[in-house]
Amino acid sequence: MGRNEKAKERRDQRLQEISLLRTIPYSDHQRWWSTDTVAVVTGSNRGIGFEIARQLAAHGLTVVLTSRDDAVGEEAAKVLQEGGLNVVFHQLDVTDPSSIRSFADWIHESYGGIDILVNNAGVNFNVGSDNSVESAPMVISTNYYGTKNMIKAMIPLMRPSAAGARIVNVSSRLGRLNGRRNRIGDLALREKLNDIETLTEEFVDHTVSTFLKQVEEGTWMSGGWPQTFTDYSVSKLAVNAYTRLMAKILSDRPEGHKIFVNCYCPGWVKTTMTGWAGNIPTEHGADTGVWLALLPDQAVSGKFFAERREVSF
């Protein structure tokens, strides 16, 4: 089978999946959204992000699919559009402040605002048993600072509603503070990151800056950092901490202007990021993210989920 035939086969399969998904009722949700509801999904040209965009669009929302690469993003959006889904593409590089500003301006001009932000864009350069920190600055810049900067840029654009706006951060259990495996060895640091009453953005930034400094100095191995997928784990640890912090900050907003922010672990999904070694299909990896984005329970914020269940940080 030639390359074009394989591409056509993959596209036909995606179109069939779209048609199937649209027939599945969302019986465990109160339908508060409509075609006017706008959801932005970062890094959604492939993998989990693409699947989140697909599922949200299949539930009747307007979805903005984003990608660093114009051609790749346009092709991904075209696949969903051919399935009859309301998806538009716009270029976005979450590591580039000017790209974020340009995207925010376009959102304001095109839609006036958004209702849902899914921070999916992320990178990981370790596969299997590899644990190089050579790309740590890029991992931290994309996974943590990219997520944080998108939240800051989109909050002023999140539209008032009775249901509340939603922010979903794609994270990982590798970044858990108190997991049995892969946790930070420094107990005092764990306690500071775990204390939501005293936690600040500056301290989260200081934590990742300390890690990057030790990487640069070559001393990180004795710093008590996670020993598996170290740079990725630290980046997701920061995302988890920032999720809890933002939920606390946003909790004071008045009714009708609420913004709920949560994070979730999709599991070890079979994507390019895992070198296709994952054991979870993308549709399952995306499910909890979509569930959180559409959840009607306004009391849920500042939580960490996996498989639609709350897990500890």
The strand pairing partners of 62, in sequence order, are: 38
Q: Is the pLDDT of residue 252 over 80?
A: yes
pLDDT band with cut points at 50, 70 and 90 for residue 24: very low
pTM of the model: 0.89
Kindly list the distances between the CA atom of residue 270 and the CA atoms of 233, 281, 282, 292, in Å, as whole numbers in the listed order. 18, 6, 7, 21
Instruction: Read off the pLDDT of residues 257-270 as tens digits, 9 standing for 90 and up.
Output: 999 999 999 987 65
Domains of the chain: 33-310 (3.40.50.720)
Q: What is the pLDDT of residue 264?
A: 97
pLDDT band with cut points at 50, 70 and 90 for residue 27: very low
Quick one: tokens of 125?
A: 């350069």
Tell me the residue type at 169.
N
Sequence-distant (6+) residues with CB within 8 A of 183 are 176, 177, 190, 226
| DSSP, residue by residue, 277-298 | --SB-HHHHHHHHHHHHH---T
How confident is the model over 147-163, as a mean pLDDT?
Answer: 97
Q: What is the pLDDT of residue 273?
A: 56
Phi, psi of 310 (to 5 degrees): -75, 135
Distance CA 93, CA 73 (A): 12
Q: Is the pLDDT of residue 17 over 50?
A: no
Q: State the chain's mean pLDDT as an integer.
A: 90
| Helical ranges in 199-276 per DSSP H | 201-217, 230-250
| Nearest residue to 114 (alpha-carbon basis) of 122, 102, 126, 104 | 104
Cβ pair 304, 239 in contact under 8 A: no
Looking at the chain, the whole-number percentage of residues with pLDDT higher than 90 is 80
Q: What is the pLDDT of residue 29?
A: 46
Using only C-alpha atoms, what is the Rg of the chain?
Answer: 19
Phi, psi of 91 (to 5 degrees): -65, 140
pLDDT band with cut points at 50, 70 and 90 for residue 80: very high
Distance CA 26, CA 79 (A): 23
Q: Is the pLDDT of residue 214 over 80?
A: yes
pLDDT band with cut points at 50, 70 and 90 for residue 298: low
Q: Is the pLDDT of residue 127 over 90?
A: no
Helix (H, G, I), strand (E, B) or coil at 160: coil
pLDDT band with cut points at 50, 70 and 90 for residue 18: very low
Residues annotated catalytic, as ranges: 232
Distance CA 237, CA 231 (A): 10
CB atoms within 10 A of CB 213: 12
Cβ pair 145, 95 in contact under 8 A: yes
Cβ pair 251, 244 in contact under 8 A: no
Q: Is the pLDDT of residue 189 over 80?
A: yes
Cβ pair 159, 165 in contact under 8 A: yes
Instruction: Read off the pLDDT of residues 41-55 as tens digits, 9 standing for 90 and up.
Output: 999 999 999 999 999
